[in-house]
Structure 1
Amino acid sequence: MRPVLATSHGLVRGVTGPSGIACFKNLPYAAAPTGPLRFMPPQPPAVWAGVRDADAYGPTAPQAPYLPPMDRLLPEVLVPGEDFLNLNIWTPDPAGRLPVLVWLHGGAFTNGTGSLTGYDGTAFARDGVVLVTLNYRLGAEGFLHLGPGDTARANLGLLDQIAALEWVRDNITSFGGDPDRVTVAGQSAGAMSIGALLAMPAAKGLFHRAALQSGAAHHTLSRSSAASVAARFAAILGVSPTRPDLAAVPAERLLAAQSQMRGEISARPDPALWGEAALNLMPFEPVVDHDTLPSTPMGAITGGCAAGVDILVGWTSDEFRLFTVPSGLSGLVTDDLVERTATAYGLPPGRGAAAYRAAFPAANPGELFAQLATDWFYRLPALRLAEAQERQGARAFVYEFAWPSPAHDGALGACHALDVPFVFDNLADPAFAHLLGDAPPQTIADRMHAAWVSFATTGDPGWSAYRVPDRAVHRFAAVPATDHDPRRSLRTLWDGLR
């Protein structure tokens, strides 16, 4: 069966699978960001005549593939083409009025696509949720800030996401979705994007709940740091840091320059050169430009800009092992590096590393380093976001994904991105095989997927909301549990920095 539905720009013909789920792929939510639209805010797509086939994934945003060994652990789909500002929809009932979940993919703001098979929305649609995935601009084309004197605006990748959410608001009724019950969800850079969207005036009212996996409202660049990044990026390319000059550079050269600059930051992570990017090694990320993103996300959220938006936020127990174990970095970490890292993150010299050694007495230096980075990058930002929303009267639900993967002889632990196939109930998808190892537990996928469905449907994933002082954190593991203020000593250590 090939169902035909109407959008504001034309008719689309999807595909209905054996389970009765209708899928519509490669629907343009904005015009191709090429030619005069390159490095410019998204514009509406053109209206088309006749019926547009929507039976295959469309082009993906330009990006350099992951290098080994990450290319095996985080496989990608790269489809060339200019019309990559597109989205995909799975729906069980185009005549319904169902909750909607809009998924923002991760990839450090330089990689990823909503067209990964692992993000197939069949399980969500099966359980009564209309699922939307999308692509947005990445790297320099999505997040390079060219300064206040340029006619272009900052955060083009975030503006793409807002354009997609506007498309959902205006069109999702045709696909059986309720535009008044939209949850925006994402992982890693997708979750960090949501942290920014919560603080952006242009996004207000476009979603009503937010689910953030392994990312919160912490990692952004200041205008001064973004200016340093733009200046160095333009110097690598041999052009001036202006929109016309950069727009004239082919995408392949931009991608090569991105890779070169990330290598430079990794080799010399000096805050005097790179600002905030020296710590998180992400030169392309949301920028506090005082226009599209008026202030830091946490500052705006603490001030009440996202009051009323319930959130589901969490992390995996061993997030950073994904970046240290497969590369071999874990075995090279020394006690001195652990000390210097703790100090660089702002913990008291001597005391910070000592607190982690006391909390994890059996851990080697590589494991301590990964735990420090996990807390700084993911756990503490999640807790602070939950606290901020709770103070504003919204409900915040916090989780920790704690099932350790058997891959890499168990050294990965519960690493970054491992929770995604459990949320999508897609454990059998080959995209996740090298992360999951053999026989991942379906029982955890059943519980985790059901929690996201319940949150999108009712605003309650099934455990107690996070409130001070009890601080409930639900743990997804072989034996599920809800802990109260887990690792309190480390939390209070970090809280002393505020």
Structure 2
Amino acid sequence: MDTIVGVRSGRVRGRTVGGVSTFLGIPYAAPPSGERRLRPPQPVEPWDGVRDATVLGPEPPQPDFGSHDPTGFVYDPALPGDDCLNLNVWTPDAGAGGMPVMVWIPGGAFQYSSGGSYDGSRFARDGVVCVTINYRTGADGFLYLGEGDDGADLGLLDQVAALTWVRDGIAAFGGDPDRVTVFGESAGAMSIGTLLSMPRAEGLFRRAVLQSGAAHHVVPAAEAARIGRRLAEVLGVPATRDAVGQVPVDRLLAAQGQLDAEVTSNPDPARWGREVATSTMPFHPVVDGDVVPAAPMDRIAAGAGRDVDVLIGTNSDDWRMFPVFSGLIDRVTDEVLSGSVEAYGLQCLAAYGLPVETALRAYRGAHPDAGPGDLLAAVQTDWWVRIPAVRLADAHAPCPGATFMYEFAWPSPAFGGRLGACHALELPFVFDTLDRGTEQMMGGALGSDPPQQLADTVHGAWVAFATCGDPGWPRYGPDRRATMRLDIRPSVVEDPYARERALWAGVR
């Protein structure tokens, strides 16, 4: 059955099936093409008649992943196109009112953005209006060319524009604009950590869920400008926004890919700067002094986002997926692990700022049966997501907004069980879409019989948090670092990362 809803720009036609109405590809900003290319998002031009909202809209320019990656873990049904700043809405009753709203910011290493890869229908089934968004990534979203550049952090400004659209228009779908929860994973969670600190995002959401990402991975302006100038050099154009904006999209993506390869193959801090070299992400949020006024963690520690309820966590073996997929986990030796950055790049402990001998003793004590590659994966998990999550939770815990922490611990049976509870594995459990198989993110990691009771627990906790601000376990605080370990038999554990907190204290 078709369902028509009126928004500020015009009317949209969605489809209602099984008590859930779905509206796809609704623009929240004008197409960022032509003179709007590489510029902040602009308002949508109104349309006449009824706009079809029964098929996905295009996604922003990004490298081609195809429908599935070679492992069967990544699902992306959309294609790039000009009108890419769009979102999708699932609602149980567009004629109702006052329902909680959840806005999903997808991950993708700040290279990809596919809001259409996620199905929000189970949130709508359970009384929540669910929204998934697209935003610009890569150079389109995070190019910075140095002092005087007025177009930094466009991807974050896209997210703010989408949240502003939600604030102004979600009531037409039955949602309460004062009960908005943002949730996201990986780069989506890192975006939310930055949004918590941004004046332009203040008041646009009441609650936040950060899955395997926090507020640490931002680029200092000088490093970002170095990357921007190198991109212009590869393109053979002046290092100005107008000049880069006139380059065809496919050529810009090719140059971006070349730059990715340069950073990955030679992660030299002297050339790229420490943050870009260690993360090997040339394009991600920039501390430009305007959109992002200062380091997000510094602002959060000073009270930014103090009234927002926060649920934050990681997966037990978060970063293990990447060295398993690449084969690195089998190539790392004790010599490499304890060696120098100059000799072994990011494969050694020193690359992450750790005191080598102390760190080796600590990680071997915590993982007595692990090989060198396993230990490196544990270190990378802590550097990328776990320590940033703990630090954000510690900084936010004294604030009026509640703080909750989780750890997703169910291990994937894929790759002979070698992945463990890896990065993004929680996604089908959060969205309660285990039955969709590989037609969802991380579907290939679930095996033949994933535990539905765990999806009931995880999805139910996210719904409860968005509805009433309490996922169902004790708050996190300095006097009790309660953490819900989400597995087939969930349990609350006390301060599970004490060893890691002590080891990483003083390490940026």
Output the TM-score relative to the length of structure 1: 0.97
Please give the residue correspondences for 1:63-102 in structure 2 after superposition, counting only pairs within 5 Å.
63-66=62-65, 72-94=72-94, 95-102=96-103
Give, in whole Å, the separation in 1 of the partners of 2:305 and 2:429. 28
Deviations 1:134-177 (A, max 9, x none): 10001000001122223x32100000000000000000000000
Aligned to 1:103: 104
| Counterparts of 1:29 and 1:468, CA distance in 2 | 40
The residue aligned with 1:356 is 363
Moved more, 261-270 or 157-166: 261-270
2:173 maps to which of 168, 172, 175: 175
Q: Deviation of residue 490 (structure 1)?
A: 2.1
Counterpart CA distance in 2 for 1:165 and 1:188 is: 19
2:394 maps to 1:387: yes
The answer to whether structure 1 residue 410 and structure 2 residue 411 are counterparts is no
Provide the residue aligned with 2:12 in structure 1.
12
In the TM superposition, what are the counterparts of 1:46-57 in structure 2 within 5 Å?
46-57=45-56
The one-letter amino acid of 1:297's match is P
* Contact kept? 2:428, 2:443, Cα under 8 Å: no
The Cα of 1:3 is off from its aligned counterpart by: 1.1
CA–CA distance in 2 between the matches of 1:162 and 1:190? 13
In structure 2, relative to structure 1, the CA distance for the partners of 1:77 and 1:337 (3 Å cut) is: farther
Give the aligned partner of residue 485 of structure 1: 495
Supply the distance in 2 between the matched residues of 1:465 and 1:77 (Cα, whole angstroms): 38
> 5 Å matches for 1:118-267?
119-150=118-149, 152-267=150-265
Could you list the runs of 5+ residues in structure 2 that have no partner in the other structure?
A: 340-347
Asked if 1:447 is matched to 2:447, the reply is no
Matches within 5 A, 1:194-343: 194-275=192-273, 276-340=275-339, 341-343=348-350
DSSP 3-state at the match of 2:318: coil
> Following the alignment from structure 1 to structure 2, what is the Cα–Cα distance between the partners of residues 26 and 131?
14
Cα distance between partner residues in 2 of 1:338 and 1:470: 34
Q: Distance in 1 between matches of 2:144 and 2:425?
A: 32
Q: Does 1:372 align with 2:379?
A: yes
**Partner residue, 2:475:** 465
Distance 2:2 2:113 in 1: 29
- Worse-superposed segment, 58-67 or 274-283: 58-67
Identity across aligned pairs (percent)? Answer: 53
After alignment, is 424-433 or 332-341 more displaced?
A: 332-341
Cα distance in 2, alignment partners of residues 35 and 112 from structure 1: 21
| Unaligned ranges ≥5, structure 1 | none
CA distance in 1, matches of 2:335, 2:483: 32
* Alpha carbons 2:113, 2:135 under 8 Å: kept: no
Partner Cα distance (1:333, 1:112) in 2: 32
Aligned-pair distance for 1:489?
Answer: 1.7
Number of paired residues? 494
Aligned to 1:396: 403
Q: Offset of 1:347 from its aligned partner?
A: 1.4
Supply the distance in 2 between the matched residues of 1:496 and 1:149 (Cα, whole angstroms).
33
State the distance in 2 between where 1:254 and 1:71 align: 27
With normalisation by structure 2, the TM-score equals 0.95
Task: Give distance in 1, aligned partners of 2:283 and 2:135.
Answer: 13
Deviations 1:203-232 (A, max 9, x none): 000001000000000100000100111111
What whole-Å deviation, never above 9, does each CA across 1:256-305 have from its counterpart, x for those lacking one?
Answer: 11111111111111111111110111111000000000000100000101
SS in 2 for 1:392: coil
Q: Hey, what's the Cα distance between the residues in 1 that align with 2:175 and 2:497?
A: 40
2 CA distance for matches of 1:196 and 1:433?
Answer: 29
Q: Give 3-state SS (helix, strand or coil) of 1:428's partner.
A: helix
